[in-house]
Amino acid sequence: MTGKSRTASADKIRCDACPVLCFIAEGRAGACDRYANQEGRLVRLDPLTILETSAGKGVRSVPFLGENGDADWDGDLLHSRRQFVTAIGAGTTYPDYKPAPFIVSQEIDGIDMVTVVTEGIFSYCGVKVKIDTDRHIGQERAVVRVDGEAIGHVMTSEYGSRMLSLGGVEHLTGGSKREGRVTCDAVLRLCNRDAVTMDIDEGAQVVVQAGKAPIIEGTAEKLMRVGCGSAAIGMFAAQWVDHADEVIVVDDHITGVLSEHQAGKLLGVKRTGIRVNGRRSTPGRYFQVAEPGTGWGGTNVQDPLAVLKDADPEYAWPGLRLLMVSTTGEQFAYFELDADLVPQPAPIPTALKASVERIAENCEPSFCSVLFMGGAGGSLRAGVTENPVRLTRSVRDALTYVSCGGAQAYVWPGGGITVMADVTEMPTNAFGYVPTPALVAPIEFTMRLADYRDLGGHMEDVRPLDTIQEGQVRRVRGFGPDPHDPGRYKWDGKP
Amino acid sequence: MMGPRSTWLSGKRLHLQHGPIDLIIGAEAAHPDAFSAAQGRFASILEELVSELALLRRPVGVDTRFEGAVAARMGAAVRGLDGVFVTPMAAVAGAVAEEVLAAMQAAAPLRRAYVNNGGDIALHLSPNCTPRPGFEVAIAGPQGHRLGVVSVDAETKVRGLATSGLGGRSLSMGIADSVTVLARSAAAADVAATLIANDVDLPRHPAISRAPANALQPDSDLGARAVVTAVGELSRGDIRRALDRGQRRAQAFHRAGLIEAAALFLRGAHRMVGHLPMTAPGSGRVEHA
């Protein structure tokens, strides 16, 4: 925004927003009706004009007459097997009383297809983050913070993974101004595949970056666990029985004890008197052998013996061979009981070492996945059709395929169009923001031209793909699924 | 200071804006050169006008000469209008629209195109096409409601359309809600609409508040002349008398060949002058005066 002003007289100011240099009287607007004199100050009257909305993102701003070339617009044209125009850089029509910025048609195998692309402004949006780790990063429902501001929370853990729900309308617009700004920025960076450092209340500091290993308390995670401690016993019992009398698989979720476990029983493993802390669930399976943490198997244990009680002298014997291992095989220790039935470290037999390595080998690399999740509200849909609910129905009927920046979008059942998409399937820098604060995310609706007509589409705004000028687009190598694949549609290639 | 801005709107419309000038340009199936020409011509228009602004804010004399093409169009549009105070600024919006349209016409063949400068519109309609191209232009009242729809086709001489009244950006010396004029050029329509709207008035009526133009806009070309700031209750007789005055001005312009048609609106009443193919909302075709 321009518009410095200097006082020309007591009640008039000179506006220098444009070459006209109007004198503007107190309480009046200049010739443009855009700038006014409010108590001697020059003020802008229409901060929400199309051009000013979100720093020129309101509509596609074309550079004026050789001014800085094509930097203003970087609409993506995603090459998969075919060309597919993504909404990245397409601009938005918020508040969507106008047709979407680009409605592009092209013939695919004899069928006229149309893709409606728009950069939607999402206040109801955020990311679901899956962090492949068993380490404790925080209690379920614990608040996740960036720069001290709450941006989300820890949600229900999944198999081998911790889950975060970040962003969303409550943090974007429901809290303080700073909370909204920090949340928007963090979610934007996550969506654009940048690293974000977050602190979980009474939990760990975690660095999350889509497609990269999480960094928990300064240490990069390497592997997902092969299974819970009990599952690990089941998987490896046969490889252990000849080389160890007892195996404890330390796991914050379920710690497995070979000799008590069904798998051990079936293999004829006899009772050892090795006893673990925690609460027994079923035979050979123990909950809460220690506190959650970033040590062995997602517990706070650094010394595995800390999870053991004294051995039961009635069953234990000197020389008893004990293997302790974590669910990823990254930590392991081998002991033999001395004459007092106290475990003493000993060199691990080769066969056991091999089994430990096999656990690690069977663990998948640990990653952070970031799924954008947002709802295409009533107004965004109006940019697609004059009758927004028909778009929802068309998506439900699998006549319309929804993608985000070319990435396949999972559409939630139920009302509205609530989608999830993997940000790593999208071209880089697919997301933007507006100061609301809200995220600007690409969303495309692809369907047959005939179906578009039927749902009340803006037919007069459909333009052929080849009319989009080469100089205006950024071409990106295709990755991810082809939105034009007929198999995606209910009509299945049979127009 | 803001430079000229160029933006695409939906429906392949180009929005050009610089300072107080806002143009919306549409051209049917036009070659991209036409839009490039519009952008090119627009880039310097405001600077050109500003360089002669002092001269443009004064009534033209016999010897007045302008340097810029737009200024010349403005001067031509007001020259020869005797017996009434008017400066070339009365034609500025129409003249800018006309000039940009002329640049487009020179750059590429056009079938149907318009340059809309805040309601003052220059039209291109190619007479050699079948079906004959035309436009339907909706006229909005001060509160944004639709007063009627004017149909213009290539057969007529109408290539400019302008609307003036109390709702617009410009100050008005009259009380008309809206005066829409169809003329052969946008600049001519602009001047006529301004002057007809000025005459829709009731001098010394107690319900009408006025202020010196330069108290509201220190730079106004109207100087200390009184402009209307508010209009209170008007009787049906008041409305009739005010419209009568404006209609007389419109008829004089029509007889002189300055305009093709005009529609005057005030408080739900209206008058028509010339052949104006207008449809009012919900009332079918409005009869001609």
Q: Choose one of A160, A189, A220: the last residue of a domain.
A: A220
| Min Cα–Cα distance to chain B from A157, Å | 46
Whether A291 is covered by a domain: the verdict is yes
Residue A101 pLDDT: 59
Whether A130 is covered by a domain: the verdict is no
Sign of CA dihedral A377, A380, A384, A385: positive
Which residues, numbered 99 to 118 in chain A, qualify as contacts with chain B under a Cβ-Cβ cut-off of 8 Å?
99-101
Whether B24 is covered by a domain: the verdict is yes
How far is C-alpha A96 from the geometric centre of its chain's CA atoms?
26
* Contacts with B43 (C-beta within 8 Å, 6 or more apart), sequence order: A64, A65, B4
Whether A258 is covered by a domain: the verdict is yes
Same domain (yes/no): A235, A212: no
| Min Cα–Cα distance to chain A from B120, Å | 15
Q: Which chain A residues are within 8 Å of B218, Cβ to Cβ?
A: 12, 22-25
Residue A85 pLDDT: 64
| Digit-coded pLDDT (tens) for A28-40 | 888 777 677 777 7
Of A66-80, A361-375, B252-266, where does mean pLDDT reach its minimum?
A: A66-80
Distance CA B195, CA B262 (A): 12
Same domain (yes/no): A244, A342: yes
Same domain (yes/no): A325, A384: no
Of A87-96, A147-156, B60-69, B199-208, where does mean pLDDT reach its minimum?
A: A87-96
Its domain, for residue A263, covers 229-361
pLDDT at A382 over 70: yes
How many structural domains is chain B composed of? 1
A14 touches chain B (CB under 8 A): no
Whether B216 is covered by a domain: the verdict is yes
Whether B115 is covered by a domain: the verdict is yes
The radius of gyration computed from the CA coordinates of chain B, to the nearest angstrom, equals 19
- Pick from A135, A165, A161, A131: nearest CA to A150: A165
Q: Are B159 and B123 in contact (CB under 8 A)?
A: yes
Whether A440 is covered by a domain: the verdict is yes
Sign of CA dihedral A122, A128, A129, A135: positive
Same domain (yes/no): A350, A428: no
Interface touch B50/A98, C-beta < 8 Å: no
| Min Cα–Cα distance to chain B from A218, Å | 48
Whether B288 is covered by a domain: the verdict is no
Q: Which chain A residues are within 8 Å of B4, Cβ to Cβ?
A: 64-65
Residue A432 pLDDT: 81
Distance CA B181, CA B93 (A): 14
For residues B156-185, average pLDDT: 88
DSSP B219-233: T-TTTT-EEEEEE--
Q: Which residue has the higher pLDDT, A466 or B34?
A: B34
pLDDT at A11 over 80: no
The answer to whether the complex's ipTM is over 0.90 is: no
**E strands present in A229-297:** 246-250, 255-257, 279-280, 285-287
Helix axes B92-107, B186-199, angle to 10 degrees: 160
Confidence of residue B105 (pLDDT cuts 50, 70, 90): very high
Q: Are A100 and A118 in contact (CB under 8 A)?
A: yes
Whether A135 is covered by a domain: the verdict is no
Residue A93 pLDDT: 47
pLDDT at A107 over 80: no
Q: Choose one of A313, A330, A361: the last residue of a domain.
A: A361
Residue A7 pLDDT: 40
How many structural domains is chain A composed of? 4
Whether B209 is covered by a domain: the verdict is yes
pLDDT at A144 over 80: yes
Interface touch B5/A32, C-beta < 8 Å: no
Whether A131 is covered by a domain: the verdict is no
Q: Which residue has the higher pLDDT, A411 or B144?
A: A411
Whether B287 is covered by a domain: the verdict is no
Whether B107 is covered by a domain: the verdict is yes
| Residue B208's CATH number | 3.10.520.10
Confidence of residue A482 (pLDDT cuts 50, 70, 90): low
The pLDDT > 70 percentage for chain B reads 90
Q: What is the mean pLDDT of chain A?
A: 80
Which of B219, B221, B222, B229 is the mutation pick for testing A, counting most A CBs within 10 A? Answer: B219
Q: Name residue B203's amino acid.
A: P
Same domain (yes/no): A297, A213: no
| Digit-coded pLDDT (tens) for A294-316 | 889 889 999 999 999 999 999 99
Whether A61 is covered by a domain: the verdict is no
| Digit-coded pLDDT (tens) for B192-251 | 999 999 999 999 999 999 999 988 888 899 999 999 998 999 999 999 999 999 999 999
Whether B285 is covered by a domain: the verdict is no
Distance CA A283, CA A260 (A): 6
Distance CA A123, CA A169 (A): 6
Pair of tokens at residue B257: 């060949």
For residues A59-74, average pLDDT: 31
How far is C-alpha A65 from the geometric centre of its chain's CA atoms?
40
Same domain (yes/no): A384, A405: yes
| Digit-coded pLDDT (tens) for A238-287 | 999 999 999 999 998 899 999 999 999 989 999 999 999 999 988 999 99
Q: How far is CA A20 from CA A394, B44, B53, B151, in A?
A: 51, 13, 8, 35
Its domain, for residue B144, covers 5-279
Whether A66 is covered by a domain: the verdict is no
| Min Cα–Cα distance to chain A from B40, Å | 7
Distance CA A116, CA A124 (A): 21
Q: pTM of this prediction?
A: 0.48
Interface touch A59/B39, C-beta < 8 Å: no
| Digit-coded pLDDT (tens) for A388-414 | 888 888 888 888 989 888 888 999 988
The pLDDT > 90 percentage for chain A reads 41
Interface touch A19/B19, C-beta < 8 Å: yes
Confidence of residue A10 (pLDDT cuts 50, 70, 90): low
Neighbours of B131 (CB within 10 A): 7
Which residues, numbered 216 to 255 in chain B, qualify as contacts with chain A under a Cβ-Cβ cut-off of 8 Å?
216-219
Residue A86 pLDDT: 64
pLDDT at B48 over 70: yes
| Min Cα–Cα distance to chain A from B202, Å | 25
Neighbours of A313 (CB within 10 A): 10
Interface touch A59/B8, C-beta < 8 Å: yes
Confidence of residue A363 (pLDDT cuts 50, 70, 90): confident
* Contacts with B102 (C-beta within 8 Å, 6 or more apart), sequence order: none
Tell me which residue in B12, B46, B216 faces A19 most closely, judged by beta carbons: B46
Same domain (yes/no): A345, A406: no
Residue B140 pLDDT: 66
Which of A64, A70, A96 is the mutation pick for testing B, counting most B CBs within 10 A? Answer: A64
For residues A65-93, average pLDDT: 41
CA-CA-CA-CA torsion for A422, A424, A429, A432, nearest 10 degrees? 20
